[in-house]
Structure 1
Amino acid sequence: MFGIFPVTNVLNLKYNTVCFKWLSPFTFYAIFSILGTLGLTILSFIRMCLSDFKLHLLDSFIFCLNALVVLLVFFRLAMDWPKLLSVFCKTETLLKNYPYQRNLKQRFIMILFVLSTAMFLEHSLAIANTYLNIDEEEVFKMNRTKLEQYFREEFPYIFEYTEYSLPLALLIFYINTCNVFYWCFIDTFIMIMSYAVAYRFKQINVQLKTGINKKHESILYWAKIREDYSQTAILCQKVNKRLGNIILISFGANMYFIVAQLYKGLV
């Protein structure tokens, strides 16, 4: 829906059918999203360079740049996703007889739903606030509609250099909304992936406690746990390798806007 993470057959129950294809509508859509976000990033950078320095101009550029980097990173991750998924499935197969939390999938869905709903609610309120604060008398004097004025105020780095048109404004609005979702998605993705790996270690920990309490003396029992722990450690290593850049991007963007908000509150 938002042109991120172009992997096919994600709803198929067989993990080996999940793959990345260049000739796929998901891939074409992702490339379109990358190009659209790249255009917004370039225009916001040009406006920032041609104007006197203002923090909100830098905010717009960082916001677009962050969305562009997120798209590129997840596009690259989509290529490696089948390999990472196979390691996940191998680990799950080894741990199939371990204590398992049945509602794990529902918990992941709930995390995504709650965070996405909160994000869209916050974004909708911001849009409503900007729209309702538009001076109608001033808009009337400029012979514009209130909707046109909203788009001009919201995306000045576009309509200062191009002629206003409603189709273009709606397209930019859609791309910008997707960019807001990417910000939410990257944090949600980190949370879900981290929880998924941590839960595998939790399963092994529970199995260890069970073995200690029951005083298992079988060498095969403890050898099996050691083998499963080694495989889970390999999974953790591979996930860390692929999530490192994503975590750094998320941390950097969040840190910038937290500091920016603190600065705005002081001046």
Structure 2
Amino acid sequence: MLSVIEVFAIWKLIRVLTGSTLISNGNKSLIGRVSGSIFYGNAVLSLILCWRAVNTWKKLSINWLRVETKGLLLSPDFSIKRKITFVVSFITLCAIIEHTLSMIAATGLDCPPEKYFEQYILSSHGFLLHTWEYTLWIAIPIFILSKSATILWNFQDLIIILISMGLASRYHRLNSFVKHVVRYEKRDGNMEKFKTEIYYQLNVWRNIREAYANQSALVRQVDEELGALLLLSNLNNMYFICLQLYLGLRKVDGVLINRVYYFYSLGWLMVRAVSVVLAAADVNLHSKRALPYLYSCPSSSYNIEIRRLKNQLTHDHIALSAMGFFYLDRQKLLQVAAAIVKYELILIQYDK
């Protein structure tokens, strides 16, 4: 059903571009139809990619469990459940508030209750329906599917954030274990060691190195499964942030509820987009945090496994990517912000 709406939205957009339909506000109608096509196009692709992620989750979770339980055993992260509960609750609450404000702004506070549903559909889906095309049997499926598309838009970002938190948590525990071992090496660095102690020390560092190698393989597997979803999420968020800024530069309706909705919607879009990038970037950030501990390891305890681990962490680039087009790290966030600022400066200069 989402695909049917998307095809119909593209058909309406083509009619505007070819001039085969008569509209009053051409620029405004064109922007609305492009945005509507992108919104439902994102919903269709998101549904397909989330369905694919669900189908591959069993294989991925088995591998994830194997990484957690075999080889180096680390203490569990007791705070991860609380963090995940907070993130899910926060995103759900903010998304509900944002969508509620959008429904109120679409009709205004003075809309009669008996006319609310019709006015809401015609206002929010003007790119699909004209006033003379409205019927209740068309409006009800559109209303349901618009809520489904909104849920999918938030859900795709939530998947990326939660899985990134899980990967970063594992790296954090590995880094803490390395810090503890290096502290032990510093304390007993000047003590004479027997061959059994040297062998035990070497074995510990080998297990640590293998744990990092297994973790990097897990990150690459997750990246392979979620790369398309990461690309879709970042492109979609960037488009709608630019759209909101563009509409804000042109004119925001003087009605208070419209101004409240505009600023809240823009702020929520930015928070969600930044959260996706920062959560994914934390995987790259935590993958390198053990290096300072390794460099501070005393020379008397230095061995071949420490050197191998140091080379592995230095030269192995671990990061989630958008199908290989770009890697998500903290520098990428600044690059995207700079691109948006350039876009807005061009609009201010040329928009009449």
TM-score by length of 1: 0.76
- Give the distance between the partners of 1:229 and 1:214, measured in 2 at CA: 20
Report whether the alignment pairs 1:241 with 2:224. yes
Decide whether the 8 Å contact of 1:116 with 1:181 is kept in 2.
no
- Give the distance between the partners of 2:72 and 2:91, measured in 1 at CA: 30
The corresponding residue for 1:103 is: 79
> Percent same amino acid at aligned positions?
24
Change (3 A) 1:265 1:163: closer
The corresponding residue for 1:43 is: 8
Decide whether the 8 Å contact of 1:151 with 1:169 is kept in 2.
yes
- Give the distance between the partners of 1:131 and 1:208, measured in 2 at CA: 58
Change (3 A) 1:134 1:96: farther
- Give the distance between the partners of 2:115 and 2:176, measured in 1 at CA: 63
Decide whether the 8 Å contact of 1:131 with 1:150 is kept in 2.
yes
Deviations 1:187-209 (A, max 9, x none): 11111111111111111111111
- Give the distance between the partners of 2:166 and 2:116, measured in 1 at CA: 47
* Structure with greater Cα Rg: 2
Report whether the alignment pairs 1:260 with 2:243. yes
SS at match of 1:172: helix
Structure 1 stretches lacking a partner, 5+ long: 1-35
- Give the distance between the partners of 1:134 and 1:41, measured in 2 at CA: 31
Equivalent in 185, 210, 220 of residue 227 of structure 1? 210
Aligned residue type for 2:205: W
Deviations 1:142-197 (A, max 9, x none): xx834223222222344349954435423221211111111111111111111111
Decide whether the 8 Å contact of 1:134 with 1:150 is kept in 2.
no
- Following superposition of structure 1 onto structure 2, how do residues 8-23 of structure 1 map, counting pairs within 5 Å? none
Report whether the alignment pairs 1:190 with 2:155. no
Decide whether the 8 Å contact of 2:72 with 2:207 is kept in 1.
no
| CA apart distance, 1:210 | 1.0
The corresponding residue for 1:33 is: none
Equivalent in 58, 62, 74 of residue 50 of structure 2? 74
| CA apart distance, 1:134 | 6.7
| CA apart distance, 1:225 | 1.4
Equivalent in 105, 110, 121 of residue 151 of structure 1? 121
| CA apart distance, 1:129 | 1.8
Please provide the CA RMSD for this pair: 2.4
- Give the distance between the partners of 1:248 and 1:56, measured in 2 at CA: 23
| CA apart distance, 1:98 | 1.3
Deviations 1:90-138 (A, max 9, x none): 11213773132213123112211111110111100110122226766xx
Question: Size of the alignment, in residue pairs?
Answer: 226
Decide whether the 8 Å contact of 2:77 with 2:169 is kept in 1.
no
Aligned residue type for 2:223: N
Structure 2 stretches lacking a partner, 5+ long: 17-25, 186-196, 251-352
Change (3 A) 1:87 1:162: farther
TM-score by length of 2: 0.59
Equivalent in 158, 167, 171 of residue 141 of structure 2? 171
Change (3 A) 1:168 1:106: farther
Equivalent in 82, 93, 116 of residue 117 of structure 1? 93
The corresponding residue for 1:59 is: 35
Deviations 1:26-54 (A, max 9, x none): xxxxxxxxxx2111111111111212452
Runs of 4+ in structure 1 off by over 6 angstroms are: none
Change (3 A) 1:210 1:175: same
- Give the distance between the partners of 2:89 and 2:102, measured in 1 at CA: 20
